[in-house]
Amino acid sequence: MQRPLQITTRDIPESDAIDAHIRERVGKLEQFYPHIVGCHVVVEMPHKHKHQGKLFSVRVEIKVPGSEIVVNRDLAEDVYVALRDAFDAARRGLEDYGRKQRGDVKFHEPLTLGVVVRLFDEGYGFIETEDGEEVYFHRENVASPSFESLAAGDKVHFIVEAAGEGMQAKRVSRR
C-alpha cells in the first residue's frame, strides 16, 4: 500500500487483538489485489441497547487507482463476525473492480428485430428476422406483453440462442 493503513475505533476500547485481526485481513486483500493505494477501517458500536446487547458496525474504505471501494456492515453482535462480513464484501468489491479493469465484464446479447409470422394455440410461434430467417419461440419465452396478446404482424425484439433443434428466440418483447 502506498499509504499506511488507518484503523479507527469508536465507542469501544482499543484492542491489540482487533488491530492485529484487521491488519491480517488487509494483508490478505493486498495479496489478492496488490494495487491498493490506501485503506481505512472504522469499527464502532453505534447503538448501545441494553435489551439487544452490543452491536458492532464496520466500515472499510479501500482506495484503488481511479476509484474507491466502500463497504459498510452494520449491527453484528460479534466484532469478528462484523469484520469477517465487511472484509468478505470488500474482497468481492475488489474482484468486481479487477474484472472491470481487465475488461472481463459480462456483455448482454444484442437484441434481434423481427416480426411475428405465425402463432399456434399450443403456445408457440415463429418470428421472421430482418434477414428472412424464421426463429421458433415458446410462450414461456415471451417477456411482454403476454403470449396471448401477440398477433401475427407484431414487431418484436428478442435474443437468439441455440436450442435442441436449431435457433430459438428468448425474451421476446413487442416493440
- The pLDDT tens digits of the residues spanning 102-133 come to 877 666 778 999 999 999 999 999 999 999 99
- Distances from the Cα of 148 to the Cα of 113, 125, 136, 173, angstroms: 20, 11, 16, 13
Can you state the angle between helices 16-32 and 79-102, rounded to 10 degrees?
20
DSSP state of 147: G
Phi, psi of 9 (to 5 degrees): -120, 140
- Say how many CA atoms lie within 13 Å of 71 toward its Cβ: 22
For the domain bounded by 112-174, which CATH number is listed? 2.40.50.140
What's the pLDDT score for residue 77?
A: 85
Q: What is the pTM of this model?
A: 0.58
pLDDT (tens digit per residue) in 141-163: 999 899 999 999 999 999 998 88
What residue spans define the domains of the chain? 6-102, 112-174
CATH fold group of domain 6-102:
Double Stranded RNA Binding Domain (3.30.160)
- Per the CB < 8 A criterion, the answer to whether 39 and 6 are in contact is yes
